[in-house]
Structure 1
Amino acid sequence: MRFAIPALLLAASPVLAQETPVLDVYTYDSFVSEWGPGPAIEEAFEATCSCDLQFTAAGDGAALLSRLRLEGARTDADVVVGLDTNLMAEARETSLFAPSGVEGVDWDLPIEWDSEIFVPFDWGYFAFVHRKGFDAPSNFRELGESDVSIIIQDPRSSTPGLGLLLWVKAAYGDEAPAIWESLSDNIVTVTPGWSEAYNLFLEGEAEMVLSYTTSPAYHLIGEGDDGFAAAPFEEGHYLQIEVAGAVEGSNQIELARDFLSFLATDAAQSVLPTTNWMYPAKTPEGGLPDGFDALIRPANALLTPIDETPETIDAALDEWRAALSR
């Protein structure tokens, strides 16, 4: 009998494992940090799904798509959280994503949403953040002519870095190469992702950092520090909408779609403003936290049409590489 009990337990353990489905979600590093939205969203979703939600951090947003392409149909991901409007066309072309099944949501976005594959979860505008009391440039030309030091992110791995390329391209068109040439000596360093760049800025390595108009809300609400601001640029600011998608080859596709639907609920949307420090894609019942009303709101929102982004990115990357290699 001493050997019968362990044998029964061993026989039962696969059955128990099967009773708790696992949902593998690929996302970016800051999403799953202890101060990011991942832990709270994991807890809230697991309370409704009788499942085990497991996040895998894969660098910054643009690195997610690179990893998914590399893994292809062999990927362990059931859901990808953290692509954006600049990557949607390329992601769609991989044929690795399934229809979301999310319908009838009254999104609070600056543009009308009509994707059947990708579900928006938050949005914001790119901006250069600085400490108050600093005389910030008011446009890219002025920035390039100044000796102001900046930190930016690599557009090949980071969605903010990619957003900056498209921001300059949308604002200046054929003049974008000249803008990059003028900016090249302002750049202290180019980091793989947003977290590295922002930490270097906080350590005093540069006067401005590429981030979001909402970043000062973190310091104001999270730290009680009103000493940070986003510089309003006369050209306007580039819009980013972050999205999630279910992986076509997932063996938990219905659970993946349940998670996408959950991202549109108040339980998830109410977490995002004070953890991801972005505007929620659907304003929660209690509205936005105090402090968000103090943020700059660009009068001119720039956005490359989604179907035109792959071609525009290729051209903008060439211009960026050429300017920074001189």
Structure 2
Amino acid sequence: MNRTRREFLTAAGAGGTALLAGCQAEPLDEGTDTPADAGTEPTGTTTGTPEGADTLVVATYPPFVDAPSTSPGAWLKEEFESEFDATLVYQTPDSELNYYLERAIQGVEFEADVYVGLDTGQLIDADGRQGEGELTDPLFAEAGDLEGTDRLREGLQFDPRNRAVPFDTGYVSLVWNATMDDGEFAAPETFEGLTEPEYEGDLIAQNPTSAATGEAFMLHTVKQYGPDGFLDYWDRLRENGVTVLGSWTDAYSAYESEEAPMVVSYSTDQVYAAMEDQDLQKHQVRFLNDQGYANPEGMARFADSDAPGLAEEFMSFMLRPEVQAGIAQRNVAFPAIDDAPLPEDYSQYAMEPPEPVTFTYDELQGNVDEWTDQWARRFAGG
């Protein structure tokens, strides 16, 4: 299907803004706490320390608590507080882990005990800042022998120093709309297929310097074409009219507006679509080359936590089968353990690739920044 070629948005427009802003620290007074009512959206600036010895402060990314569709934060708070004699308070700074990393570098105390939503790249960044001498003390503590870690699915552990513990995972793939082109559209089956003239202008991706899905898709192309070949592949994508936007939200909104029939997203797309009674023909999943890039999320205890014991109890709680099932359904993801009691129809909509692929911590360390910098230098000029 041929279309008018869309411009490759990087240095200009939404993608260009994200390209420049994605690596900058947010102001250190940002952040939000949840109020006592778990169902209320978090508001207010994080400035003080929650009172009471039995308060656990959990830092995470905003959609984990207040996504516009569904999120596990409020449910987890209610479940945890119903069993433990403690109050769970969320902090959700817009700059996510970078907020705490910058405070630690500047020697400014913060109240959080656990970070939920850590990925390999963030962990490597934090370790790199310590290696460069900016961060004098470790940001995270070793997890120790947490109950439930023996049930973790093989291949999800991404921290060789046993600080970050996976709690769910997603697979980055293509999502495509089978109703477009008068119902004749079908996504290609391979990476090479995306560069064919019949798919000119048909793909929306995300900027790898500012979006997790964008980085995962870029890393998948590195896996496929190697460090010396992935930029040439992106040249061919650009020549074929790929659109690159700054965030997953921007990209998916454009996709839902039918600006293109394919978008880089997650293979659990049909889970949300089915929950919202949407047309599943508009939410088809394609694993290019029969592969999906695994993007596990982890949790880790801050080394300076005021409640280390409670933090470890929370992390073990997060690995319980029934809690894992609840997180997966509300975060539209896959559990990190094998025996989570998911509904029978969940597997009908949550697609797992025939071959999961990913880079290990050791493979990414010292390389991921170089690859994203190379990508930015090559495509920043549009």
TM-score, normalised to structure 1's length? 0.83
Alignment deviations for residues 64-95 of structure 1 (CA, whole Å, 9 cap, x no partner): 33222212152332211111234333344542
State the match for 1:293 in structure 2.
348
Counterpart CA distance in 2 for 1:112 and 1:156 is 23
**Counterpart check, 1:99 vs 2:145:** no
Question: Residue 222 of structure 1: CA displacement?
Answer: 4.3
5 Å-filtered alignment, 1:1-326, equals 18-19=51-52, 21-33=54-66, 35-59=70-94, 63-72=95-104, 74-92=109-127, 94=130, 95-101=138-144, 102-103=146-147, 105-111=149-155, 113=157, 116-133=162-179, 134-145=185-196, 146-173=199-226, 174-184=228-238, 186-192=241-247, 194-223=248-277, 225-227=279-281, 228-234=283-289, 236-326=291-381
CA distance in 2, matches of 1:42, 1:150: 38
What residue identity is the alignment partner of 1:211?
S
RMSD: 2.5
Q: Any conservation in 1 of the 2:290–2:353 contact (CA below 8 Å)?
A: no
| Gap regions ≥5 residues in structure 2 | 1-49, 131-137, 180-184
User: Equivalent residue of 1:270, what SS?
Assistant: helix
Deviations 1:272-314 (A, max 9, x none): 2321111101245534541423554322222112112132212
d(CA) in 2 for partners of 1:56, 1:151 = 32
Measured after TM superposition, the shift of residue 244 of structure 1 is: 0.6
Distance in 1 between residues matched to 2:214 and 2:369, nearest whole Å: 14
- Greater helix share, structure number: 1
Q: 1:104 Cα deviation (Å)?
A: 5.2
Q: Is the 8 A contact 2:156 2:166 kept in 1?
A: no
Identical columns (%) = 27
In 2, Cα distance between the equivalents of 1:242 and 1:68?
18
Code of the aligned partner of 2:97: L
> Which blocks of at least 5 consecutive residues in structure 1 are unaligned?
1-16
1:80 partner SS: strand
SS in 2 for 1:97: coil
SS in 2 for 1:170: helix
Residues 27/195 of structure 1: CA separation in 2 closer, same or farther (3 Å cut): farther
Question: How far apart, CA to CA, are the structure 1 residues paired with 2:321 and 2:96?
Answer: 26
1:65 aligned partner, one-letter code? L
Checking the alignment, whether the CA contact within 8 Å between 2:118 and 2:164 is kept in structure 1 is: no
State the one-letter code of the partner of 1:170.
K
Q: For 1:288 and 1:306, locate their aligned partners in 2 and report how far apart those are by CA, in whole Å.
A: 33
Calculate the TM-score normalised by the size of structure 2. Answer: 0.72
Does the C-alpha gap of structure 1 residues 86 and 148 become closer, same or farther in structure 2, counting only changes over 3 Å? same
Secondary structure of the residue that 1:177 maps to in structure 2? helix
Counterpart of 2:225, as a letter, is Y
Q: Secondary structure at the match of 2:368?
A: helix
Alpha-carbon distance in structure 1 between the residues aligned to 2:290 and 2:339: 31
Instruction: State how many pairs are aligned.
Output: 306
Deviates more, 1:89-98 or 1:297-306: 89-98
Q: Is the 8 Å Cα contact of residues 20 and 50 (structure 1) preserved in structure 2?
A: no
Q: CA deviation at 1:220?
A: 2.1
